[in-house]
Amino acid sequence: MSLALRDVSRTFNGTTAVKNVNLEVKPGEIIGLLGTSGCGKSTLLRAISGLDSEYDGEIEINGTVSKEIHDTTGFIFQEPRLLPWLNVLDNVTFGLTGSRKEKENKAIDYLESVGLRGKERLYPRELSGGMAQRVAIARALVTSPEILLLDEPFSALDAFTKMQLQDLLLEVWKKYQSTIVLVTHDIDEANYLCDRVVILRGQPGEVDREFIISQKRP
């Protein structure tokens, strides 16, 4: 799905967090969003997802401008944010509709694709950081989002797990051709994963520079 931001600004109690951001993202593009802390990256992702509707300007998803929560978007945060009282399977089925069997079969498929087959009955406290983040990825993917919003999804992980999950993200992207907006502080990660990188200049965040990454993704 395509995504367009037109003159998007966000003010909190008179303080401007994001100012006049314009951005066009093509269907299936992986775009990196970089910039110093506090320049408004998370604020932009929340606006795109519809979790925040108090912004000015327009956000168009696949030709439709709306400030409703977009169920076509999936969110992955820095921390997994799993529900501690639910096991892995129920964390992934939570929010799905359909019969219990349908939901579970679907969740199991996605758990398999993130390498967690057999871990369905574990609880979040029994998982390593990397496993928990895989669950968060499965939970975001299971709703078949056409736009994936990732807010520093790998920055809390060790280097090895980080590389595994970056490759997993690329596999997922190849399979589902999702449009991805990735907030990261890691230039190497942006270089490895993204087609294009946008630098926000803080504060408030405005688009400063955009550049195309020429290196072809594997």
Binding site for ligand ADP (CB under 6 A): 12, 17, 35, 37-43, 77-78, 151, 203
Using an 8 Å Cβ cutoff, are 213 and 27 in contact?
A: no
- Measured from the CB of residue 39, what is the shortest distance to ligand ADP in angstroms? 4
CA distance 125 to 108: 20
Indicate the residue among 51 and 83 with the shorter CB distance to ligand ADP.
51
**How crowded is residue 37: how many other Cβ atoms within 10 Å of its Cβ?**
9
Indicate the residue among 93 and 133 with the shorter CB distance to ligand ADP.
133
- Measured from the CB of residue 114, what is the shortest distance to ligand ADP in angstroms? 21
- Measured from the CB of residue 187, what is the shortest distance to ligand ADP in angstroms? 16
Helix H segments across the chain? 41-49, 88-93, 100-113, 129-141, 159-176, 187-193
- Measured from the CB of residue 35, what is the shortest distance to ligand ADP in angstroms? 6
Indicate the residue among 109 and 186 with the shorter CB distance to ligand ADP.
186
What's phi and psi for 206, nearest 5 deg?
-130, 155
Residue in the structure block whose two tokens are 């030709």: 63
- Measured from the CB of residue 45, what is the shortest distance to ligand ADP in angstroms? 8
**Burial grade of 128 (CB within 10 A; 0-12, 13-18, 19 or more):** exposed
Indicate the residue among 35 and 74 with the shorter CB distance to ligand ADP.
35
- Measured from the CB of residue 100, what is the shortest distance to ligand ADP in angstroms? 32
Indicate the residue among 146 and 151 with the shorter CB distance to ligand ADP.
151
Indicate the residue among 28 and 57 with the shorter CB distance to ligand ADP.
57
Task: Print burial letters for 145-160: b (CB count within 10 Å at least 16), e (below 16).
Answer: bbbbbbbbbbebbeee
